[in-house]
Amino acid sequence: MVVIGDLMLDAYMIGETRRISPEAPVPVVEVAERNERPGGAANTALNLAALGARPALVGVLGEDAEGERLLDLLGRAGIDTTFIVRDPTRPTTSKTRIIARGQQIVRIDSEVRAPLAAPQELALMGALRDALAAADGCVLSDYHKGVLTPRLSAEAMALARRSSCPVVVDPKGTDFSRYRGCTVVTPNVHELEAAAGMTAETEELLLAAAARLLQVLEGAAVLITRGAGGMTLVRDQVPPRHISTVAQRVYDVTGAGDTVASTLALGLAAGVPLEQAMELANHAAGVVVGKMGASTVTCDELLAALPALES
């Protein structure tokens, strides 16, 4: 499974707050725990690995300490980092979350969101060609940080078609024409509204917005993730399919989109019909939102969430 997109390092500083700073009216967090995890497209790859796939990452990291730490974390997870390009002109995207009493106090971001420079884009296109040569499936994990340029996205679609492998896109931005040729896109409601240029406040408007995207995507399906509202699958010439959420406890929705995209893509790559792959993704998301931060779902956890399959 090939994952291409914006790689990130997610850092967490967790502690308690018992007093207000004398320097400014802000809480003082006494940090008791620090940890780092792969985020963005790297979390998508982590989800695929947890489900038993062999993910290869295609993306860009800076030549900095954050990039080295992310490579180390990915290597320990068994993820192929051969196709990652290092760029000395931009930092590794990192997000540091400060958490006290189970609540996020503030998030500190370090990033450059400008599109890749031409040399890095060409290097990434070469890496993508090599990675997709033997792929069974592909995920485009777009966090709008400049890696998935229109040219690179188009190349990914063309190469995937040549390899006959399904492509799942976790999208961002308003121009979904960049994803033309994919198998399915997985916007949330906010992303759907932004791309369609209209609100989706009612069921009718939501379906109308999805229909507008179908015209742009030319044959791809649209799987709308709706949080507590479940998921809705919209395709040309097929009645829409809706399923309710199965989440029992929602602790943190960070990274849930990564889990949906990775589970859906792995199901499709294994030959599972789209509607069944959607069900699997829904159950996987129901598990992951019960964990803190960008997390993964194992095969055992997914099977436990599907009691009807245990027999």
Written as one letter, the residue type at 240 is P
25 in a domain, yes or no? no
Q: In the structure encoding, which two tokens stand for residue 221, read together?
A: 């399906």
Please tell me the distance from the alpha carbon of residue 188 to that of residue 223, in angstroms, as a whole number.
8
| Neighbour-count burial of 226, counting CB atoms closer than 10 A to its CB (0-12 exposed, 13-18 middle, 19+ buried) | middle
Strands (E) located in the chain? 2-5, 7-20, 27-40, 56-62, 84-87, 93-100, 103-110, 138-141, 167-170, 184-185, 221-225, 231-235, 238-243
- Give the pLDDT of residue 311: 39
Please tell me the distance from the alpha carbon of residue 174 to that of residue 254, in angstroms, as a whole number.
21
107 in a domain, yes or no? no
297 in a domain, yes or no? yes
Residues whose CB is less than 8 angstroms from the CB of residue 116 and which lie 6 or more positions away in sequence, other chains included? 60, 87, 124, 146, 147, 149, 152
Active-site residue identified among 109, 130, 258, 300: 258
Virtual CA dihedral for 250, 31, 92, 294, nearest 10 degrees?
-10
243 in a domain, yes or no? yes
Domain range for 140? 2-7+55-91+113-310
137 in a domain, yes or no? yes
Q: In the structure encoding, which two tokens stand for residue 218, read together?
A: 């030319």
Written as one letter, the residue type at 156 is A
- Give the pLDDT of residue 309: 46
- Give the pLDDT of residue 290: 66
Q: What are phi and psi of 303, to 5 degrees?
A: -65, -40
Q: pTM here? A: 0.90
- Give the pLDDT of residue 291: 64
47 in a domain, yes or no? no
173 in a domain, yes or no? yes
Low-confidence ranges of the chain (pLDDT < 70): 247-255, 290-294, 307-311
For 46, the 3-state DSSP assignment is: helix
Please tell me the distance from the alpha carbon of residue 12 to that of residue 16, in angstroms, as a whole number.
13
- Give the pLDDT of residue 257: 86
- Give the pLDDT of residue 299: 84
Provide the CATH number for the domain around residue 205: 3.40.1190.20
Among 246, 244, 260, smallest CA distance to 186 is for 260
Please tell me the distance from the alpha carbon of residue 244 to that of residue 65, in angstroms, as a whole number.
42
Q: Is the CB of residue 99 less than 8 Å from the CB of residue 107?
A: no
- Is 300 in the active site? no
Query: How far is residue 162 from each of residues 133, 270, 278, measured CA to CA in Å?
Result: 9, 18, 25
- Give the pLDDT of residue 246: 78
Q: Is the CB of residue 187 less than 8 Å from the CB of residue 169?
A: no
If one counts the domains in the chain, the total is 1
Among 71, 75, 45, smallest CA distance to 259 is for 45
Q: Nearest 5°: CA angle at 84, between 65 and 287?
A: 85
- Give the pLDDT of residue 194: 96
176 in a domain, yes or no? yes
